[in-house]
Amino acid sequence: MKVVIAPDSFKECLPASQVAAALAAGTLEACPQAAVDLVPLADGGEGTVEAMVSATGGRFITVDVFGPLGEEIRARFGMLGTAGEPGLPGMLGVTAAVARAEGDDEAACSDTAVIEMAAASGLQLVPSEKRDPRRTTTYGTGQLILAALEAGARDIIVGLGGSGTVDGGAGCAQALGVRFVDAQGQPCVCGLAGGGLMDVAGIDMTGRDGRLDDARIRIACDVTNPLTGPNGAAHVYGPQKGATPEMVEQLDAALAHLAGVIRRDVGMDVENLCGAGAAGGLGAGLAAFASAEIESGVNIIAEAVQLARRLAGADLCITGEGKLDGSSRSGKTAFGVADIAERVGVPVLCVAGQVADDAPRDRFAAVASLAGEGISVRQALRSAEDLLKIRAAEAVRKGI
């Protein structure tokens, strides 16, 4: 019996690698002879790097970069391994998968890197009393991209969840060598933030790092917001980053101004590009300054870890996420896994922390919840690993 285990993290509870390991333990308890392939996943948000390094047996690289307020911090990204690639071992036992989740400097790596912009420019890096998106920059995210290029990456996946910025990706672009000038032709301040975008009068791409021409940058994104307007980066996401209503209007105008300069000097209209407003406009900036492609996060990640190939010939796929509800249809991991598994004819069990009344149960062969039947949500969170083992074992014994 071959079982592919491909869950997301359970937010504020367990990372995807631990969820996968617990589900695998339950599977092997019920069917000791099972061949279990652990493929922890993510949708581009928090946990993406850890999940993909674990799924492929890759390694982490830690570098010094500038944080969102310009302070020096340490941030890490991942180089994907070769586990699961054609002609190479792809079946990982529970112990091996957990060990590889910690990273291995000697691991055989591919030329694919994965970055979480939140590692360098995330909201969690900005103290609550200092949250003002007019002051925060994505410069450090650009430095992470440069570090990935230096490590030999030619395919770079950038997850945009958890942003603390609304700078249209200008700070990131500066780190990549793009030059912004003011009306006097002088360079704009290094580490451009949302509050400095109105000063941009011209964009010079001639100093952009040449290695970007030979690299593929893909943006893992699960939002479709445009750059500006009532559904844009400033209006929808600015307030959660500390923006007052007045700041929101200032930032929206600044992003519109930047889009106009990009349109004139770069020759790209990013203002209404689907997903351009992700991460405070970093989606737009990476598209304009790094020729990045904006794609569904779960689809990019599933492709990178070769989920479809690893599902071939499987008898069962087990996925999961913290809460399965109506929103799961909109780019969440479990729903994406179900779509891929359906194409290759593999039944899917979804194990969720909670299952709402509007959950898309019809997309799965079976759905199990950690909470319920006398177990509160709090108890489920506290005993998640044990309950994941139990739910997986129950399902396998039933022959799901």
Alpha-carbon gap, residue 42 to 48, rounded angstroms: 5
CA atoms within 13 Å, Cβ hemisphere of 247 = 22
Residue of 308, 307, 361 lying closest to 335 (CA atoms): 361
Residue of 368, 292, 358, 309 lying closest to 330 (CA atoms): 358
pLDDT at 85: 47
Cβ–Cβ < 8 Å for 190, 139: yes
Which 8-state DSSP code applies to residue 343?
H
CB atoms closer than 10 angstroms to residue 70: 16
Which domains does the chain carry?
Answer: 2-41+314-398 (3.40.50.10350), 48-93+109-298 (3.90.1510.10)
pLDDT at 103: 44
Cβ–Cβ < 8 Å for 271, 228: yes
Going from the C-alpha of 300 to that of each of 46, 52, 84, 337, the distances in angstroms are: 15, 11, 16, 12
pLDDT at 82: 83
Which residues does residue 320 pair with via DSSP β-bridges, in sequence order? 351
- Tens-binned pLDDT, residue by residue, of the chain (400 aa): 999 999 999 988 999 999 999 999 999 999 999 999 999 998 888 889 999 998 899 999 999 999 999 999 999 999 999 865 443 333 444 333 433 444 445 557 899 999 999 999 999 999 999 999 999 999 999 999 999 999 999 999 999 989 999 999 999 999 999 999 999 999 999 999 999 999 999 999 999 999 999 999 999 987 889 999 999 999 999 999 999 999 999 999 999 999 999 999 999 999 989 999 999 999 999 999 999 999 988 899 999 999 999 999 999 999 999 999 998 887 789 999 999 999 999 999 999 999 999 999 999 999 999 999 899 999 999 999 999 999 999 999 998 7
> DSSP string covering 234-277, please?
HHHHTGGGT--HHHHHHHHHHHHHHHHHHHHHT----TT-TTTT
Q: Spell out a b/e string for 247-283, using b for 16 or more CB atoms within 10 Å of the CB, else e.
A: bbebbbebbbbbbebbeebbeeebbebebbbbbbbbb
Terminal Cα distance for the chain, rounded: 12
pLDDT at 107: 58
